Each structure stands twice: as C-alpha cells, then as structure tokens.
Structure 1
Amino acid sequence: MTIVICTSQACVFLNGGLFPETHKPLLIQKLLLSPLGFLVSKLINKQRFSTSLQRIFGPSTPPNPEVIDTLWQLLNHNNGLAIMHKLISYMTQRQQHRERWVGAMINSTIPIKLIAGVQDPVSGQHMINRYRQLIPNANICEMATLGHYPQIEDADAISTAYLQFRQSIE
C-alpha cells in the first residue's frame, strides 16, 4: 500500500504500487485476493508473517524482533487478520482507477515527490523507473539500501528527505 502525504501545496508518495503494471505482488497477496482469500488469512501466523517481511525489507535493513512484534500486533488489532482478504482489494481498485489516479499525478499542478526503497521487490526500482517515464520532471529520492518499508527501515533518512522537499517548495 502506498503512503501519501498531501497538503494543498504538495504531495509525497512513499513507495507502494503506484502503477498496477509495475506492481509485483507477493504470492500471499495474490492468494488473499483470490476466492480462497478468507481461508488463506486463517493460515497466516506470526512466523509466516515474519518470513514475508524478511523478503521485502532491504537486505541490509532487516526487521528486528521488536518491529515484527509491533507489526504483528497492528495486523491483529480489531481482528484485522481475519479481514485481510477484504483489505487487499486495494490492488483491484488500483487497476480500476489507474487512468484517473495516474492521470492526477501526471497532470499535477502542485509539486510531487517520490521517496522509495530501491530494494523493494514489490514496488522498488522497477516502479521508480516507471515513475520516471510517466511523471514530468520527476522528483525522486531513491533510497538505495531500503526495501518496502523505508519509513521503518531508516526513519531518519525518510524524515530528512521529506523535510528537504518541504523546504525546497516553501
């Protein structure tokens, strides 16, 4: 899922599958989206969750046990794990609304920036390249060692990149 920070003056995208044509979902995401998704969500346990996280974090910034515990708790809050098959519908919505959503980025009248982890196998370098192709005067901060969760993997670097962007437009 893409994290977006927008105001009336600017917008920042943080990783994520901005373009359905470049999004490379994990097997678990595909299974959750399938008609068997409700059963698949019942098979997810903390160990499987941890293994998936290990694959999408940057190789030099793996999640520590505290991060895994925290994300697992968040996933289970209010029985969230039981509805994962419903939450994953954002992948379908991204395809349904692609022209409108991508068009808004292409035609933006406010400054926009992408901050992304290059090592993300789901939406990393390949998504960054597509962003560069489609977005006029693309403003990109490529985090060479980070993966799918750059805001967790190196919060200081992400904060710095964001604040530099904000200062550059003020």
Structure 2
Amino acid sequence: MLGLGFSDKPYGHNYTVSEQASIVERLLKMLAVEEVHILSHDLGDTVAQELLRRFLYRQKSSSKGAQYLKIKSLCLMNGGVFPETNFPLGSQRLMLNPWLAPLTRLGNYYTFKNSFGKVFGPDTQPASMDFVDFWALLRWNEGNLVMPGLLQYVAERRVNRAAWVGALQKSTVPVHMIYGPADPVNPPVFADRYRELLPKATITVLDNHIGHYPHWEDPMAVLMAYFGFLEKVSPLTQPPAKGET
C-alpha cells in the first residue's frame, strides 16, 4: 500500500483509507480482475472494510449486469476492526499526537526493536536479523518519516465506525477472522466483541502465544485456517459435472 513496504512514501501526503481502497480497485481493474477473495491484516482490515462497504452499496444500487469489483469472501487477521477494542502502543499514540509526532524522528533501531517486539507473542519473537530486515523495510524511502501520517487511519476508524463495522454486519459474503490472542493492540476482549457484533461470521482463535502477526508467527496454522474457510464458502476443487471425467 502507499507509504508501506517498497511502495512510494510521499512525505506530507494526506494518507486515507479511502485512497488506499481506490488504489486497490484501480490495480485490480488494470489487471482485469473482476472477482476476489480478500485476505487482509491490520490496516488492510480497514481497507477491506471500505472495499466491502463499496461492494455492498454497488450491489444494492447498481442495475443488473453492472460491472464492479465483486467480493467472494473476506478473511481478516489482527487489526482494529472495532475501535473500542483497539489499544495502540505508546509509540503509536505518540505519533498520533500532532505536537509530539515530530519526536519520532529521533527514533532509532533500538527504540524500534523495543516497541515492535511487543506486538509479537512471547514465544514467537523475531530473530535479530529479522528485526534488522523489518527496520530496513520501514526505513526504505524514508518510510519512518511518514508513519505519523499513515497512522491517521486510527482516527478514521472512529469517525467511520458505523459504516465500516456496519459493512461487516450487513455483509452478503462470508466473513472470517484468524486471530492471534497474544496481541496487546487487539487483546482477547476483541474476540468477544467480534462474536457479539458478528454472530453470523466465523473466527479461528490461534494458540495463546500467537500475537499481532499470526501469518508471520504461525504461517502454517494461518494457511490451514484460511484454506479451511475457503473450502467451506467456495470449494477450491469442484467435482466433475455429470458425464465428465
């Protein structure tokens, strides 16, 4: 996404969830992709909620046969789906404060490692070289300087809660959550809230030692949970039709 990984990271840009969703839609249109199964994480969860909101709106208001991106299923992983159960780290709260955010320029590898390590489970901490790689990726194209701007999605989640949580509640496509409970940003109260607000959706709660990055901390368990979800909602292998072999 814009501002992350190896993508462009324009400084002073007004990063919004809506723009990230539009970039995704534009890319899929260029690739002539018309139907998708979405697997998302963290900020990606919020972007996926916005994509789902748009899909439901178009599905309801468009005429029969209208062309728009069709979502077949949505699988989320640890993210601030519900603002009331999302608790940003101290370093994130610092970046969200417009007066204190400039102090993040003083951050270095060691302050990053100390803060970032807190979101992993106690038994799934990255190795030293992994921390170095994470830090290098954050610093690519001076990405560390745009983090305060990127984190404004936390405030967007509160402002747009009714629309984005409502999209999950009104979803006409299957919704699943793969959740690591050792996540200080989205602690176990999140799972209770998820079941309360989304009784028709399903959830896989991983082992107690899995934290905020389940796909990194226990990739095999995530794959098994995701493929199990897909098999139920959209079988990967269809039996041959009558008369076929």
When the two structures are superposed, what TM-score results if normalisation uses the length of structure 2?
0.66
Equivalence for 2:156: 93
Equivalence for 1:160: 224
Find out whether 1:55 has 2:118 as its counterpart.
yes
Find out whether 1:34 has 2:97 as its counterpart.
yes
How far the C-alpha of 1:137 sits from its partner, in A, is 2.3
Which structure 2 residues correspond to residues 146-157 of structure 1 after superposition, within 5 A? 146-157=210-221
Q: Distance in 1 between matches of 2:221 and 2:158?
A: 31
Paired residue secondary structure (2:85):
coil
How far the C-alpha of 1:83 sits from its partner, in A, is 1.1
Q: Give the 4+ runs in structure 1 shifted more than 2 A.
A: 1-7
How far the C-alpha of 1:37 sits from its partner, in A, is 4.4
- Bigger Rg, structure 1 or 2: 2
Paired residue secondary structure (1:12):
strand
Q: Contact 1:2/1:13 (CA < 8 Å) preserved in 2? A: no
What one-letter code is carried by the residue in structure 2 that aligns with 1:121?
Answer: P
What one-letter code is carried by the residue in structure 2 that aligns with 1:3?
Answer: G
What one-letter code is carried by the residue in structure 2 that aligns with 1:168?
Answer: K
Which structure 2 residues correspond to residues 1-170 of structure 1 after superposition, within 5 A? 1-4=42-45, 8-144=71-207, 145-170=209-234
Q: Distance in 2 between matches of 1:40 and 1:130?
A: 34
RMSD, aligned CA: 1.6
- With a CA cutoff of 8 Å and minimum separation of 6, indicate the structure with the bigger relative contact order: 1
Identity of aligned residues (%): 36
When the two structures are superposed, what TM-score results if normalisation uses the length of structure 1?
0.93
Q: How many residues align?
A: 170
